[in-house]
Structures are given as structure tokens and as C-alpha cells.
Amino acid sequence: MPATRPRTEGDWFLLPAPQPTTPVRLFCFPHAGGDATAFTPLARALAPAAEVWALRPPARGGRSRDPMPADFAALVEAVAGALDPHLGPGRRAAFYGQSFGALLAYEVARALPADRRPELVVVAGAPSPAEWTERESKDLDAAELLRLTGLEELVRADPELVELALGGIRTDLAVSATYRYRPHAPIGSALYALAGADDPMLATTGLTGWAAHTGGAFGHRVMPGGHLLATVDRPGPVDLLASLLAAGPRPSW
């Protein structure tokens, strides 16, 4: 089935490959400094099994004039508010987030009313909320993070793109630095944790820490790749995501 042309939904979402008849929406949350376009290859590869709704964070791309919320809690509140009209009983939804986006995806799922939470949250390249530290914000500068994520090669030929990428990373690192974990009841959504085998920023043995944050099914996997699995030049874990979505709201992994 050929995908229709990309379109935006309000300020917050890009649909790179709209699939209006697909029963499930996969909301994707980009890494620090990332934009919705990072999920274009994933959206095309998943069609027609799922319709990707990619988050368009402020302060970059088509929203370069929109200010980023002052702190992580305010960002969660803003994203949850934007998502709420597109969720609810009878609408299948799942979240996929990478690195900073993984933490954001989980905290947004937790902030939503119980009847609007996604059936599945897939987190990639991130420690669990209880293990989250400020390392990315304190010990890494934006240029080093650009290198470690593997994105430096994509933009290094264009100084303007480099500056745009660094600006987005700095913005998100500042927000990330305000995150504070507070113990809470686990969400009921199924949760699946991923890591790239060559990720220089995450100990892949720590994925099981996410298990304590769900009351539903939990699974985890280390797969080929680095810190970012889905980027503007590769679709990421397409087969795994398709399999997880096909399992339905009560998977048995």
C-alpha cells in the first residue's frame, strides 16, 4: 500500500507516512537534539502495519521559534496535553522513544489518564527512570554527544547543520538536567527495553531495571546498533516493533 504524503497534526506531530486505515498509532519521541524527521524511514518501513506520529519538539526544525518548556516536568505536561485528544478507548496506541525521548515517552505515559495510556511503551538507549542520572547534562557537552550518537557524520559537511544540531542538543540537555526521579506506582502499559550492542553510553546489562516500572508485560533485548537505532538514514528496529505491535494489548513475551 503506497503511503500518502507527509502531513503535520497541529504543532506537535508529524505523520511522515500517513496510514488512515491502520488500527494502531505509534507515537515516536526523538533523542536529545532530534526532530520528528528522524522517524521518516521508520514510518515508511512500518507502513501499513502502523501509523507513525513523530513528536515535533519546540526550538528546532519547523518549530524553531517556539520556546522549549522551562523544565522536564513542564515538557511532559505539554506533550501529554497535545497527545490527549488523539488517545482513548478504542484507539490502539504505542510509544517508542530513544535516549532522552525514551525517558520522555515513559513519563508522558505515566502523566496521562489511565484510560488514555498507550498499550505499549518501547524505550531504547536509556537507563530506567530510577537509574537516570544527569551524566548527559553535566559530563558531556553537546559536541561530544553529537559524536557519541553517531550523528556527527551526517551533518559535519554542512557547518549550518552542525550548529543547528548542537543548538537542539544544548536545549534538550538543559531540560534533561531538571529531571528528578520520584518513586511512583508502575504504569499498566506493557514495557519493552532496547539497547544497541555497540552503544557507548549505556550498559546493556542494565535494561532489566525498567521491569520495576510496569505492572504489565516486560521484555528486553540487545540488538545490533549504537546509541540511536532509528535515524534519518536508517529505520531502526522495524521487525521487532511490528512484532510487538502485532502481539496486541496483552502480550506474553
Asked if residue 40 has pLDDT above 60, the reply is yes
Asked if residue 226 has pLDDT above 60, the reply is yes
pLDDT for position 88: 80
User: In this structure, is the dihedral angle defined by the CA atoms of residues 133, 82, 51 and 217, taken in order, positive or negative?
Assistant: positive
**pLDDT confidence band for 206 (50 / 70 / 90):** confident
pLDDT in tens, 117-139: 999 999 999 999 988 864 444 44
Check residue 69 and report its DSSP letter. P
Residues 6+ apart with CB under 8 A from 179: 72, 103, 132, 134
* Mean pLDDT of the 53-65 span: 92
Asked if residue 251 has pLDDT above 50, the reply is yes
pLDDT for position 152: 56
pLDDT for position 161: 58
Q: Please identify every residue annotated as catalytic.
A: 99, 227
Asked if residue 14 has pLDDT above 70, the reply is yes
Asked if residue 41 has pLDDT above 80, the reply is yes
pLDDT for position 138: 43
Contact yes or no for 42/230 (Cβ under 8 A): yes
**pLDDT confidence band for 105 (50 / 70 / 90):** very high
Q: How is residue 219 written as a grid cell?
A: 521484555
pLDDT for position 162: 58
Asked if residue 3 has pLDDT above 80, the reply is no
pLDDT for position 249: 78
Q: How far apart are CA 94 and CA 36, in angstroms?
A: 16
Pick the residue with more confidence: 198 or 97?
97
**pLDDT confidence band for 32 (50 / 70 / 90):** confident
Q: How is residue 244 written as a grid cell?
A: 510487538
pLDDT in tens, 149-199: 555 555 554 555 555 666 777 888 889 889 999 999 999 999 999 999 988
Asked if residue 146 has pLDDT above 70, the reply is no
Q: pTM for the full model? A: 0.90
Q: What is the 3-state secondary structure (H, E, C) of the chain?
A: CCCCCCEEECCCEEECCCCCCCCEEEEEECCCCCCHHHHHHHHHHHCCCCEEEEECCCCCHHHCCCCCCCCHHHHHHHHHHHHHHHCCCCCEEEEEEECHHHHHHHHHHHHCCHHHCCCEEEEECCCCHHHCCCHHHHCCCHHHHHHHCCCHHHHCCCHHHHHHHHHHHHHHHHHHCCCCCCCCCCECCEEEEEEECCCCCCCHHHHHHHHHHECCCEEEEEECCCCCCCECCECCCHHHHHHHHHCCCCCCC
pLDDT for position 147: 60
Asked if residue 248 has pLDDT above 90, the reply is no
Place of cell 489511565: 114
